[in-house]
Amino acid sequence: MSLVSGPGRGGSGGSVPDELKLVVDRHVKYIQSLDTRQDELEYWLTEHLRLNGVYWGLTALHLLGHPEALPRDATIDFVLSCQHENGGFGAAPGHDAHMLYTVSAVQILATVDAVEELDRKGKAGGEKVGEYIASLQDPMTGSFAGDEWGEIDTRFLFGAFNALSLLHLLSLVDVPKAVAHVQGCGNFDGGYGVSPGAESHAGQIYTCVGALAIAGRLDLVDRDRLGGWLSERQLPNGGLNGRPEKLEDVCYSWWVLTSLAMIDRIHWIDGEKLTQFILQCQDLDKGGIADRPGDMVDVFHTVFGIAGLSLLGFPGLQAVDPIYCMPKAITSRIFGR
Amino acid sequence: MSHGIPRGSGVQPATAEDRQKELQKIKDYKGLVESVHLRIQERQYTIDTLDLTTKLLRWNPEFYTIWNHRRLIMRHILSAGSGEDGQGFKTSHDASVNIISDELSFLLPLMRKYPKCYWIWNYRLWLLEQSTHYLPAVAGRQLWQQELALASKMLSLDSRNFHGWGYRRTVVNALESPELQSDGSASTLTEQEFDYTTKMINTNLSNFSAWHTRSKLIPKVLTKKQADKVARRKFLDEELELIQRALWAGSEDQSLWFYHQNLMSTFDPKYAADSMAPDLSGEERLEYVTQEIGRIQEMLDGAEDCKWIYQSLISLSILYKCLSGKWPVGQSVIGHWVDELAKLDPLRANRWADLRRDLGAP
Ligand SMILES: [Zn+2]
């Protein structure tokens, strides 16, 4: 079982009615259909997103209240088929191990309550997965690489904190040094970049604030300044952009919104207008959510659209954990809170 | 993930023949993937294998594992060149330069076609790092120098390209590193890069990337100049003039206001230590703040619907009060500014409500 992450070709570009609702059943069907597109070339060209795709689809289904819509055993089998002996996971069988996919693997297993399957059926047990992640930390700078080839990015640092905390193995890494690295990525606008010196960017802010939240160091964030910059991401049509002078987008809307939530400033934007913007990005006939109204849908924007609606308190959705982008009921179970 | 692709724009295979063609393509693609994997498993790090990865990566540059395979092949070829494989086969440095140059040229059209594909950029940087390792400093430096020109060219085409600015920063760091100095002396491009941001800002004021980069370079420029208090004040005054001129030209431009806010931090005891003039006295800070309040108030004339002006006036007033213990204008004036701000910016109504609360509802 695996889900394709590309936009596909279908979809209807029909006009959007004024009174919008969330077409839950269509979204569920859309996500389920992603496993049945092997006869499209794109299915094969997007293999590098396969494991992320399962995380995105599964999380969307849980938030929609349909956790059973993907078969649990097949999901676990697919995840384990992507594992390498060093503990890390690739995007799909035959793809090299990398932080991004290792994090998705851990998140999926945590969501379906199957972390112990690593020890039972994995090519390497849970402890080894933690060691793989920890091996990617630079002991000098505290930063994390994506894989053995050494690319550094605050996305990988957050990914490491995310997966290790879900495995209760955060003690394997130097948390204070990593926190200092995050601080070094801070900018005058209160935001954070991909590395020291880099411009603030909503996606990168999410990863840095998320990492500080997991480390229990949100005291280091300049909440008013960052909150101000983030709130200015909202544009008149209700959608949010990721940097000044850029277009609005459902995925950036999530990263900005959840960062605001983590620093208790979610009320600084117009939630009602953002809700309307996300609803307008749905494909009402075939299901799925796009980056902007009228564009092609994909599972990536589908999960972040639904997660955004959940965080905005949209009726009928399961609560989302703003740090992990997983169902709150599941992170509560894992962290016993 | 997809961005900006209109719904319904994909071509559905209409006929049985089309579907057959697509299935054949899938077969070709999977066959190519299979043969590359197999050769790498067998450690066939040869030119033939390299050519197969070329074909595959042109088809699908997002396939990160294939970039990793290509690294293995490159490392093998280059280390053979430096006689590290123990086969007694030595390539000259010239040959290594050619190999790396060819590789860099192979990447160029891919970067143009897929400007947002992270893996291509990573691979290019990895390759350049190899050049630092395998080539003498002069030859390595030349390659990196060309990259700086490339970054300039990309940014002239798209002045906000996120990868472009990041790439430029990495290239500059490399050019400043001791490994790339032929005489081992320290080298810095700080001033050259600072001038570059001025040039980019003069071309287009709405360039948050350039303002950001400027904020990061200023402390370095001042440190390098060993600027004393007088020199720092002079620098600050020039920045204040620059942002004033910019704000008069584009008072609705949020990039400019964020940079203005950054400059105002110089006068805020909470931020001053990290600013370009950390040792201003309390009186000097108050003088600057008073001057700015006057200047921004002038801007209001004819731009009464610009929310940024009110926002700036309010935060400057708060700073004034923090420095002097009293408000710069009557509290009813500040109350009026908050009212205007809330009226002009309903999206952030709750933010302004919080502000009103923090001000003690003047
Ligand atoms: Zn997006």
- Domain membership of residue B236 as a residue range: 196-329
Eight-state DSSP code of residue B11: P
pLDDT number for residue A226? 98
In sequence order, which ranges of chain B are alpha helices (DSSP H)?
Answer: 16-41, 47-59, 64-81, 93-113, 118-134, 137-157, 162-176, 190-203, 208-224, 229-249, 254-264, 282-300, 307-324, 331-344, 349-358
Q: What angle do CA A45, A46, A52 make, to 5 degrees?
A: 165
What pLDDT was estimated at residue B88? 39
3-class secondary-structure state, position A91: coil
Tell me what pLDDT residue B187 has: 73
pLDDT digits (tens, 9 = 90+) for A251-264: 999 999 999 999 99
Interface probe, candidates A205, A245, A266, A312, chain B, greatest B C-beta count within 10 A: A245
CA R_g for chain A: 19
Residue B11 has pLDDT above 70, yes or no: no
Nearest by CB to A244, from B4, B65, B208: name it.
B208
In percent, how much of chain B has pLDDT > 90? 77
pLDDT reading at B86 higher than 60: no
Fill in the amino acid letter for B290.
Answer: T
Q: Which of residues 69-108 of A touch B (CB under 8 A)?
A: 90-91, 94-96, 98
Using the predicted structure, report yes or no on whether residue A16 has a pLDDT greater than 70.
no
Lowest mean pLDDT segment, chosen from A297-301, B90-94, B180-184, B341-345:
B90-94
pLDDT range class, residue A20, cuts 50, 70, 90 = confident
Residue B28 lies in a domain: no
Q: Looking at CA atoms only, how far is residue A90 from chain B in angstroms?
A: 9
A253 touches chain B (CB under 8 A): no
Residues 106-145 of A with CB under 8 A from B: none
- Range scoring the smallest mean pLDDT among A9-18, A199-208, B14-23, B61-70: A9-18
Report the half-sphere exposure of A9 (CA within 13 A, side-chain side).
11
Rg (CA), chain B: 28
Q: Which residues of chain B are within 8 Å of residue A294 when distances are taken between CB atoms?
A: 6-7
The pLDDT tens digits for A168-205 are: 999 999 999 999 999 999 999 999 999 999 999 999 99
Q: How confident is the model at residue B162 (pLDDT cuts 50, 70, 90)?
A: confident
A51 Cβ neighbours under 8 A, 6+ residues apart = A79, A82, A89, A90, A91, A92, A101, A104, A105, A108
CA distance A200 to B285: 28
Higher pLDDT, B13 or B121: B121
Q: Is B120 part of any domain?
A: no
A17 vs A23, higher pLDDT: A23
Residue B101 within any structural domain of the chain: no
Confidence at residue B7, expressed as pLDDT on a 0 to 100 scale: 83
Residue A337, C-beta contacts closer than 8 angstroms, at least 6 positions apart: none
What's the mean per-residue pLDDT of chain B?
91
Contact B347 A273 (CB under 8 A): yes
Question: Would the pLDDT of B90 be above 50?
Answer: no
What's the gap in Å between B201 CA and the centre of ligand 1? 28
- For the residues A222-250, what does the mean pLDDT come to? 97
pLDDT value of position B276: 95
Residue A300, chain B, CB below 8 Å: the answer is yes
Determine the average pLDDT of the residues in A43-62. 96
Separation CA A110–CA A105 (nearest Å) = 9
Q: What are phi and psi of B193, to 5 degrees?
A: -70, -35
pLDDT computed for residue B315 by the predictor = 97
Helix axis angle, B93-113 to B118-134, nearest 10°: 170
> In chain B, how many domains are there?
1
Q: Provide the number of CB pairs (under 8 Å) joining chain A to chain B.
A: 160
Q: Is residue B260 part of a domain?
A: yes
DSSP H helices in chain A: 24-33, 41-45, 50-63, 72-81, 99-111, 117-121, 126-135, 154-166, 175-184, 202-215, 223-231, 250-262, 271-280, 299-311, 328-335
Distance CA A163, CA A131 (A): 11
Q: What residues does the ion ligand 1 have nearby, CB within 5 Å?
A: A 249, 251, 291
pTM value is: 0.94
Q: What is the CATH number of the domain that holds B284?
A: 1.25.40.120
Instruction: Tell me what pLDDT residue B103 has.
Output: 96
Kindly state whether residue B55 falls inside one of the protein's structural domains.
no
Predicted local distance difference test score (pLDDT) of residue A254: 97
Q: Which residues of chain A have a CB within 8 Å of the CB of B26? A: 39, 41, 44
Cβ–Cβ below 8 Å for A200 and B12:
no
pLDDT above 70 (res B279): yes
pLDDT at B14 over 80: no
For residue A37, what pLDDT is reported? 83
Residue A9 predicted with pLDDT over 70: no
Structure confidence at residue B84 (pLDDT) = 47
> Which residue of chain B has the CA closest to A56?
B1
Is the pLDDT assigned to residue A2 strictly greater than 50?
yes
C-beta atoms of B265 and A232 within 8 A = no
CA dihedral B34, B38, B43, B48 (to 10 degrees): -50
Section A147-162 average pLDDT: 96
